[in-house]
Chains A and B, each alone.
Chain A
């Protein structure tokens, strides 16, 4: 061995750097992925130890021409696939309009899931309708796939008089128990161990329902993620923990979150949990791995960690300008394409869809969002004067309003 390491002053602080910054050409060279269809599909009873390799591969079903290949090809009807495609189109149209609405000053904040639509939507379709979801802020697709009223999402975004959350939450921090959608927290990763706890409770109660939770690549650095992994593994909780690796956490590339020399799926190895790493822009592959993990969890075989390999197509939020820290054409160069186009091509290759139908479906989605937008805006957009009665501010802090809050409410007046 060279003696560098023994020199007294050989130490130097390492700071990971992304391959490309603004002005550079996007660089995905040297990235190699397993071929679509090449990854074997294990039995749901396979031990975590035997599954280590999955942490370093990438499960792919669709090739770039829209053909579905290999053992992970799910059995899902063209009808269902068209439904999934329409949800994705609707999500994209919704994001586009609400992002614009923020720009027009109609609300304070918005977050798109551009390029990540397949993940929330395929996963929701692979789960049962009553499975419980603990999302981050980028899984609006869950609500859309569970057909939560679009107009209520808009009411929430506008904090208007019909906002189901009474104007209390930042836009997009939805909540709907009916749809099995846990109230979104602005504090990263907190939902992940909570999902594990929900799953433990489901097991405790001999329930048939499982939990699924999502967090970003960046958020895996939080201690809560590691607590979740420990508890899920220890108690074999029926939970699916999804890491959405969209390469960026605001301006920090995934190497800052610990992805420089390993994968996020590999986190599972240390906890003795099966890892699955999947092309997040491949609707069929995402659907298939979720079915696998859900079946495993429902059979009381415990949790699975899924890393969805994807790219954040838009800015982090309306407060962000990504051209300041990454090449603006990086997303367009993403080697694994766009999830909507890829599912479209697949349906076309099956003879179950056409360019013309796609165009129409796209227009329908835009029109639905436009009509819903008009309806929501008629109720109101975000204004300095809140439409909520002032006294409502003091409700739901506790079940009952204690004296000191009642007094503050009275002092405030109406």
Chain B
């Protein structure tokens, strides 16, 4: 696979030096870049200040920009979300961290009833240019309250944008776009691939980001536009739609099975890049959707409906979904639960054989 495919369609400004980064470092670099450029950008959340966040995404930002621009919040996701809304309404561009996506819910009311609708209900008078970052997903032995993938709880809300990167390069470019976006953006970080592109084989060595082309990240400002998917691997046999960690797991599955799959990394779930999906499925006629979240009412349901609506006459097989099971995320049975390559391969074979 060529680095170009992984790079996608970034727009760059100025001269950028490239540096090798993990996803954590790339996210940190995005915040650093934006705090440097724009005094209205500030960041806060539980443990993000002096400590730099439990995953170290905000490391050194307090030392560099002062406590006023990078600080600890009380343990109230409700308070974090609501005060970020207030700041955004004032005209700042707050970027808040929810320590784990599993802890978003105390602030959910503020997202669903407030952040998402303030533009609409004020007829554009007030706007909420805030970014809510949160690590999500399993495969880290986190049990049911450190493993959830609640993206469909956000994609279902009109007025919110939902973004999920899958590489360091995308993470930085997308986070910068999210921060500059004038609407509230939910920015979900696949924590299983913070340090390396996990391929779903828990018993194999995980290669570090440094061996992956998309760990070459410009140290300055660049953007990856929201709403644009990335075809990370072209193929003819079938289309796999994925995002976050599952992009790498799907790639590994295709490689393992020797299937000529075209793999689409959505990058932005809402607003979705329908064109890239339609082009691909019209070409291949077969579609496998992969996500880690539970199946029922998961984002895969929406994807499946979209493919059916747009590509019905091109489909040669039923659309397949490979997802987490409809149970809470178990601790000991993590690898039975996680949608591993063997499950994806089975679904790809079904799609090819029917």
Contacts and interface: CB of A to CB of B under 8 A. Distances in A.
A250 B97 CA distance: 15
Interface string B75-86: 111110000000
A219 B296 contact: no
B72 to A, nearest CB: 5
B350 to A, nearest CB: 11
A21 interface: yes
Contact of B328 (A12, A168, A223): A168
B105 to A, nearest CB: 8
B336 A393 contact: yes
B52 to A, nearest CB: 9
Interface stretch (B1-9, B15-23, B140-148, B190-198): B140-148
Interface stretch (B33-41, B43-51, B220-228): B43-51
Contact of B49 (A15, A189, A404): A15
A412 B332 CA distance: 16
Q: How large is the interface on B (under 10, 10 to 19, 20 to 34, 35 or more residues)?
A: 35 or more
Contacts of B325: 393-394, 405, 408, 412
Contact of B336 (A170, A324, A412): A412
B148 to A, nearest CB: 10
Interface in B305-354: 325-328, 330-337
B98 to A, nearest CB: 12
A411 to B, nearest CB: 9
Contacts of A319: 54
A170 B102 CA distance: 14
B214 to A, nearest CB: 27
Nearest to B42: A13
A386 B332 contact: yes
A221 interface: yes
A42 interface: no
B103 interface: yes
A187 B103 contact: yes
Given A170-B144, A252-B46, A325-B51, A397 B332 contact: no
Contacts of B54: 250, 319
Interface residues of A, number: 52
Interface centre among B73, B75, B337 (most CB of A within 10 A): B75
B50 A388 contact: no
A249 B68 CA distance: 20
A17 B141 contact: no
Contacts of A171: 331
A394 B325 CA distance: 9
B301 interface: no
Contacts of B337: 393
B125 interface: no
Given A221-B74, A397-B327, A390 B67 contact: no
A167 B46 contact: no
B69 to A, nearest CB: 9
A325 B54 CA distance: 12
B47 A252 contact: yes
Nearest to B107: A223
Contacts of A386: 330, 332-336
Contact of B332 (A186, A258, A388): A388
A231 interface: no
Nearest to B327: A397
A392 B333 CA distance: 10
Nearest to A107: B141
Contacts of B208: none
Contacts of B68: 12-13, 15
B141 A108 contact: yes
Given A221-B76, A388-B333, A394 B67 contact: no
B74 A250 contact: no
A21 B334 CA distance: 38
B75 A168 contact: no
Contacts of A17: 67
A256 interface: yes
Interface in B59-76: 67-68, 71-76
Nearest to B109: A223
Contacts of B49: 15, 252
B332 A221 contact: no
Contact of B144 (A168, A250, A382, A405): A168
A135 to B, nearest CB: 15
Contact of B74 (A185, A224, A258): A258
Interface string A380-409: 001011111010111001000000110010
Contacts of A387: 332
B71 A15 contact: yes
B271 interface: no
Contacts of B79: 221, 223
A390 B75 contact: no
Interface in B277-303: 295-296
Contacts of B78: 222-223
A159 interface: yes
Given A17-B67, A221-B79, A324-B51, A168 B330 contact: yes
B12 interface: no
Contacts of B202: 384
Given A15-B68, A186-B102, A393-B337, A223 B51 contact: no
B337 to A, nearest CB: 7
Interface centre among B68, B105, B106 (most CB of A within 10 A): B106
Contacts of B67: 15, 17
B74 A159 contact: no
27 contacts: A12-B68, A15-B67, A15-B72, A167-B332, A170-B145, A170-B146, A185-B145, A186-B146, A187-B105, A189-B75, A218-B75, A221-B75, A221-B76, A223-B76, A223-B78, A251-B51, A251-B72, A252-B49, A256-B72, A325-B50, A384-B335, A385-B335, A387-B332, A393-B327, A394-B325, A397-B328, A405-B325
Closest 10 pairs (CB-CB, A-B): A167-B332, A186-B145, A170-B143, A221-B74, A251-B51, A159-B332, A386-B332, A108-B141, A15-B67, A221-B76
